[in-house]
């Protein structure tokens, strides 16, 4: 059985390819490090994480300054014994690709594609062996007077475009918003251009066109969009459906992956954009997505070629094992400093000066592209480790040992885009105790300027025992936070029934989903102190 989403939590912009009987899938990662998680399956039902395509600092420069910067919309392809992953880094404003003979890595250093511009690149090998680059038109390029998809031949040995870019499509709708996420396919003598349009929120959609020649003209499918949920209303439980990629299976059947968002207790999108999979059939030369319903369903029958228990369902990894951080865990921004220390299954985070709230942008005028031009210059690190939240109903616990002086704080956080967060943190109290408090942070635009509002919604005092057990529980959009001295039986509630609707991407904006994480910070001053975490447990209810 295919159970959607096949990747739960923040796994947007999926791309898929097949090699023999093996399937490989990659998704966006934005400003989290390592970048571009890569998955494998043999039946399309069960997926295992192989690793990341960008797991070395020299491959990927991203910063904590804007979580929705960084890596946009990767495409994964295989040709002649080599895997290619091509993508955009919005932090460095570059399109590039990396290669690997084994999708589990190691992947090569990036090959930057000069003069490409735009975002969401893809690669296409034609029958004559020529290779083409496809992406959105470069911004502020006088050759293109409106948003569109462009194409050029590319020399993969140098990464350089070998001809002029030309337009091949600008969406099915007149003046379509955000034509992006293009992929080209060859079938029955036709070149098919599959794109996303309508923006990546409620009006997101998948459209397709075709031509006998890459130079066009491309004719639109008569029943575009071929996939969308925008007509189902804002109460439909899966929304934002779009950004698809097609794959032909070994038995001649077809499937597509796409992104979508599960709603949580109303029109709230805590988990961000996730990866869904659906069957596709071809009729009269055009693809029919999810035949019979035309929408992404929660369950589909397994493919005919699927075998029982061929691969294992991906399970969460430990916080640390064998001296390494678990594969499910990410940094926010590239970790240029060694501020995380691993001892067996224990992880210590040094209290760097960087704050989880980017106060440095307080009061600045904001526009998306202008902001993207400002970020990316710092190599300061964020003292944070987190993992994607896969379900809205969950409980997370961790043991923390720390000494608090001055402004230092450490604890657990549920983090959405750019500072929207709920934190359970410990910090020094004047009487020698430790104050545990729950802090709610909301980012707002006021008169076009960025503002961060931080408020305490509950607090208690505990003796400075040095070791505590912290707990965070969520159900839909309500949260409870508790703490106890390690070894004691009774939990002390710090705050309960806390409203977390601000954690949905519809409120927070941006392109990511919620993370549950651990942090330790000097809050503006570097500290040699560490917070040591162990025995992390995350229970999610499906």
CB 224 within 8 A of CB 210: no
d(CA 420, CA 356): 10
Query: Is the confidence at residue 311, as pLDDT, over 50?
Result: no
Burial class of residue 74 in the structure, from the number of CB atoms within 10 Å of its CB (0-12 exposed, 13-18 middle, 19+ buried):
buried
Q: What is the topology classification, in CATH, of domain 320-541?
A: Jelly Rolls (2.60.120)
CB 95 within 8 A of CB 87: yes
Query: Is the confidence at residue 84, as pLDDT, over 60?
Result: yes
Say yes or no: do domains 10-227+240-247 and 320-541 share a fold.
Answer: no
pLDDT of residue 315: 56
User: In the chain, what percentage of residues exceed pLDDT 90?
Assistant: 87
pLDDT of residue 314: 54
pLDDT of residue 307: 81
First to last CA, the chain: 16
- The answer for 231, left when phi > 0, alpha when psi is -120 to 50, beta otherwise, is alpha
Per DSSP, 372 falls in state: H
Tens of pLDDT, residue by residue over 150-180, are 999 999 999 999 989 999 999 999 999 999 9
Tens of pLDDT, residue by residue over 402-412, are 999 889 999 99
pLDDT of residue 418: 83
Q: What is the mean pLDDT of the chain?
A: 94
Tens of pLDDT, residue by residue over 119-147, are 999 999 999 999 999 999 998 899 999 99
pLDDT-derived band of residue 445, with 50, 70 and 90 as boundaries? confident
In angstroms, what CA-CA distances link 282 with 177, 218, 222, 223, 233?
27, 18, 14, 13, 27
Q: What is the topology classification, in CATH, of domain 10-227+240-247?
A: Tachylectin-2; Chain A (2.115.10)
pLDDT of residue 310: 43
d(CA 379, CA 205): 37
CB 44 within 8 A of CB 254: no
User: How is the chain split into domains, by residue range?
Assistant: 10-227+240-247, 320-541
Q: Residue 499: name the closest of 481, 517, 483 by CA.
A: 481
Catalytic residue numbers?
13, 180
Give the chain's length: 542
Q: Hey, what are 85's tokens?
A: 């992953």
Residue whose token pair is 């990629």: 245
Tens of pLDDT, residue by residue over 247-278, are 999 999 999 999 999 999 999 999 999 999 99
d(CA 243, CA 228): 10
Tens of pLDDT, residue by residue over 185-232, are 999 999 999 999 999 999 999 999 999 999 999 999 999 999 999 999
């Amino acid at each position: 059985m295919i159970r959607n989403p096949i990747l739960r939590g923040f796994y947007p912009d999926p791309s898929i390819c097949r090699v023999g009987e093996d399937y490989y899938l990659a998704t966006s990662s934005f400003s989290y490090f390592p970048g571009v998680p890569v998955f494998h399956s043999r039946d399309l039902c069960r997926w295992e994480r192989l690793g990341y395509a960008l797991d070395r600092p020299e491959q990927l420069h991203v910063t904590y300054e804007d979580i929705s910067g960084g890596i946009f919309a990767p495409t994964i392809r295989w040709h002649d014994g080599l895997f290619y992953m091509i993508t955009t880094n919005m932090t460095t404003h570059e399109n590039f690709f990396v290669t690997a003979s084994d999708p589990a890595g190691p992947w090569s250093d990036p090959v930057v594609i000069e003069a490409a511009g735009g975002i969401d690149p893809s690669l296409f090998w034609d029958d004559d062996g020529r290779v083409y680059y496809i992406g959105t038109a470069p911004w502020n390029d006088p050759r293109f007077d409106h948003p569109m998809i462009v194409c050029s031949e590319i020399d993969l040995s140098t990464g350089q475009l070998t001809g002029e870019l030309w337009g091949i499509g600008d969406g099915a709708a007149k003046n379509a918003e955000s034509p992006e996420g293009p992929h080209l396919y060859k079938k029955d003598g036709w070149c098919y251009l599959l794109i996303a349009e309508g923006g990546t929120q409620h009006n997101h959609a998948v459209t397709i066109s075709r031509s006998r020649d890459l130079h066009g003209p491309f004719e639109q499918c008569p029943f575009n969009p071929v996939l969308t949920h925008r007509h189902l209303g804002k109460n439909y439980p899966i929304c934002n459906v779009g950004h698809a990629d097609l794959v032909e299976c070994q038995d001649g059947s077809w499937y597509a992956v796409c992104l979508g968002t599960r709603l949580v207790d109303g029109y709230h999108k805590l988990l961000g954009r996730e990866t869904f999979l659906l069957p596709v059939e071809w009729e009269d030369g055009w693809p029919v997505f999810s035949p019979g319903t035309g929408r992404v369903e929660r369950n589909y029958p397994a493919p005919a070629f699927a075998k029982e228990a061929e691969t294992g369902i991906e399970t969460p990894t430990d916080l640390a094992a064998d001296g390494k951080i678990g594969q499910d865990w990410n940094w926010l921004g590239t970790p240029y400093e060694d501020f995380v220390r691993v001892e067996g299954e224990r992880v210590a985070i040094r209290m760097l000066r960087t704050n989880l709230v980017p106060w440095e942008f307080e009061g600045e005028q904001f526009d998306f592209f202008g902001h993207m031009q400002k970020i990316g210059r710092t190599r300061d690190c964020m003292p944070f480790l987190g993992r994607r939240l896969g379900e809205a109903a969950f409980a997370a616990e961790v043991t923390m040992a720390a000494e608090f002086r001055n402004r230092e704080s450490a604890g657990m956080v549920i983090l959405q885009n750019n500072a929207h967060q709920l934190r359970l943190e410990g910090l020094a109290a004047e009487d020698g105790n430790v104050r545990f408090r729950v802090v709610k942070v909301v980012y707002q635009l006021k008169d076009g300027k960025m503002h961060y509002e931080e408020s305490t919604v509950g607090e208690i005092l505990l003796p400075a025992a040095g070791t505590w057990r912290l707990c965070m529980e969520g159900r839909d959009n309500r949260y409870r936070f508790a703490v106890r001295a390690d070894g004691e039986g009774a939990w002390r509630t710090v705050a309960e029934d806390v409203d977390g609707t601000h954690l949905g991407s519809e409120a927070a904006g941006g392109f990511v989903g919620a993370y549950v994480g651990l942090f330790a910070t000097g809050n503006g001053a570097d500290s040699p102190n560490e917070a040591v975490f162990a025995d992390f447990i995350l229970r999610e209810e499906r």
